[in-house]
Homo-oligomer: A and B are copies of this chain.
Amino acid sequence: MTHPIEHQRIYISGVGASHPKKCVLNEDLPLHLNTSDEWIQQRTGIKQRYIIDEGEDIVSIASEALLKALKMAGINPLDLDAIILATTTPAMRMPSTASLIQNIIGNYRCTAFDIQVACAGFVTAIQIAYGFIFSGQFSKIAVIGADLMSKIIDWNDRSTCVLFGDGAGAIIIENKMEAELVYNAQNLMNNIDIDNFSKNSFYEKNLTVDYTNYNINSLNNKIISFNSEKVQDLNEKKYLFDSSGNIPQSGNIIDLVSYSHADLKDILYANCDGFITMKGINVFKHAVQELTFISRLLVKRNNLDISDISWVIPHQANKRILDAIASNLDISIDKFVITVNKYANTSAASIPMALDFLYHNGDSFYKRLSSGDLIIMLGVGSGMIFNGILLRW
């Protein structure tokens, strides 16, 4: 089946990550936990985690990750159309933490909101961004995963508290085709007559009062009113691909899947004012089973072979889950990007932090990410929700 996504050019243009300054090694954990570096490493692969300290909060680390991603993408914060933050540990009940980040980066025109999908939130946020771009609602979207898990773990429960850490990761998702369109639109707008609109506009009359720098024409990159001949020009350019007329071969989100087995809601949860409770064995079993399934599904329905996949970027909960998935899929664990040793489980931040590691910091163990590489991202979280994305870098 020809997938509609082949006709789109929705791609990741920037990646950034951030973690708190304070690093807590297994050896540094409180003595009353009566655990050991060896025990933790053997069962989880975790060596250390970063924990939030004074002067830092979720907004500061998420904003830093986002600004790094914007820099890589070469995008001015003002040009973002939307900020989607996946988090289980928002700064406030309201507004959304995404709004607070929007304010920090100085954007005053995009939309911003949080989603709560636990550790699977980053993949869901990409799915939302994908839909927004595909349906023409927005062109440049920041997708952030950030969590301060240290705030919701019981530091007296050694079966959970050693597993989590704090961090943030961000990506920019764009539609190149749309970006070209907008560029053309911006040129056209120099000649646009919006007088007729302005005369009747309560908003326009009040424009100088509140938003001196506000550009009404840039709102959602939509154009309010213009000459129909010029619209024609715009429509003709709408379905062009690149200058050669080819479908681009890189940077494409190819396929997405997400489902939830809500009957598993009791194996991993936290009450509003409580700590995380987890039935580790059950979470392990279902994570391995479903993430293996999703990997096979993404490969199979896109007529690929599992050997075509260059990188698997899974949620980082436990190294042994990843070993089991690699074994099931019969591919080398070396294709799995692993950062759980450095960061522990940072919930919604773990996948973008792992992507950032692969892209920016890949050490001798990893060859660096190459253009054209096929990547599978795999999310799993309380719900239980399972999701995945296939993309070509």
Contact = CB atoms under 8 A, between A and B. Distances in A.
A162 B96 CA distance: 24
A260 B112 CA distance: 6
Interface string A78-107: 000010000010111111100110110001
A301 interface: yes
A272 interface: yes
A94 B112 contact: no
Nearest to A115: B115
A161 interface: no
Given A94-B381, A134-B134, A271-B92, A103 B223 contact: no
Interface stretch (A43-51, A68-76, A195-203): A195-203
A102 B328 CA distance: 29
B4 A107 contact: no
Contact of A385 (B95, B137, B265): B95
Copies in the complex: 2
A1 B220 CA distance: 15
Of the listed residues A94, A202, A223, A296, the one surrounded by the most CB atoms of chain B closer than 10 A to its CB is: A94
Given A128-B128, A381-B94, A300 B116 contact: no
A109 interface: yes
Contact of A134 (B121, B131, B259, B271): B131
B130 A116 contact: no
Contacts of A270: 92-94
Interface string A233-274: 011000000000000000000001111111101001111111
A5 to B, nearest CB: 8
A137 B127 contact: yes
Contacts of A206: 289
The 5 A-B pairs with the shortest beta carbon distances in the complex, nearest first, are A131-B131, A134-B135, A203-B293, A103-B262, A102-B262
15 contacts: A5-B136, A88-B93, A90-B272, A92-B269, A94-B270, A94-B381, A95-B262, A95-B382, A99-B383, A107-B262, A111-B259, A113-B116, A113-B383, A131-B134, A202-B293
